[in-house]
Amino acid sequence: MSPEKMVRMANQIAIFFKTQPGDDAAEKIAQHLSDFWEPRMRDQLHAHIDAGGAGLDPLVIAADARIRAATAEG
């Protein structure tokens, strides 16, 4: 998928969880990405972040870190 499309989709998710009460938005975004994004898509996200993460909402980057940590554990 094109990087712009991926960035837009990830940011859309971040925008929703940002508006929810509580301070665990990054956790919820991570959860959503793990539940609905196929591993290939998450890999593309990791790669994009490794390459600087242009255009991504900081919460997506925070969420991505959690996904990686969880994968490393599991």
Partner 1 sequence: MKDFIIPVRERDMGTPARSGAPVTLTIDGVPVTVPEGTSVMRAAAEAGIQVPKLCATDSVEAFGSCRLCVVEIEGRRGTPASCTTPVAEGMEVRTGSDRVRKIRRGVMELYISDHPLDCLTCAANGDCELQDMAGMVGLRDVRYAAPEGAGLANHFEARNTSGAANPEWLPKDDSNPYFTYDPSKCIVCSRCVRACEEVQGTFALTIEGRGFDSRVSAGGAGDDFLTSDCVSCGACVQACPTATLQEKSVIELGTPDRSVVTTCAYCGVGCSFKAEMNGDELVRMVPYKHGKANRGHSCVKGRFAYGYAHHQDRILKPMIRERIDQPWREVEWDEALSFAAARLRGIQARHGRKSVGVITSSRCTNEETYLVQKLARAVFGNNNTDTCARVCHSPTGYGLGQTFGTSAGTQDFDSVEQTDVVIVIGANPTDGHPVFASRLKKRLRAGAKLIVIDPRRIDLVKSPHVQAAHHLPLRPGTNVAVVSAMAHVIVTEGLMDEAFIRTRCDWDEFQHYAEFISDPRHSPEATEMLTGVPAASLREAARLFATGGNGAIYYGLGVTEHSQGSTTVMGIANLAMLTGNIGRPGVGVNPLRGQNNVQGACDMGSFPHELPGYRHVKGAEVRAVYEQLWGVEIDPEPGLRIPNMLDAAVDGTFKGLYCQGEDILQSDPDTKHVAAGLAAMDCVIVHDLFLNETANYAHVFLPGSTFLEKDGTFTNAERRINRVRRVIPPRNGYADWEITQMLAKAMGADWGYTHPAQIMEEIALTTPSFAGVDYALLEEKGSVQWPVNDAAPEGTPLMHVDGFVRGKGRFIVTEYVATDERSGPRFPLLLTTGRILSQYNVGAQTRRTDNVIWHAEDVLEIHPHDAELRGVADGDWVRLVSRSGETSLRAKITDRVSPGVVYTTFHHPDTQANVITTDYSDWATNCPEYKVTAVQVSLSNGPSEWQEDYAAQAAQARRILPAAE
Q: Which residues bind partner 1 (CB under 8 A)?
A: 1-2, 5, 8-9, 12-13, 15-16, 19-21, 32, 34-41
Taking alpha carbons only, the member of 17, 44, 73 closest to residue 64 is 44
* Residue type at 35 in one-letter notation: D
Beta carbon nearer to partner 1, 18 or 61: 18
Which residue's CB is nearer to partner 1, number 21 or number 52?
A: 21
Nearer to partner 1, 36 or 51 (CB): 36
Query: Contact 63/30 with Cβ under 8 angstroms?
Result: yes
CB of 3 to partner 1, least distance (A): 11
Shortest distance (Å) from residue 12 CB to partner 1: 4
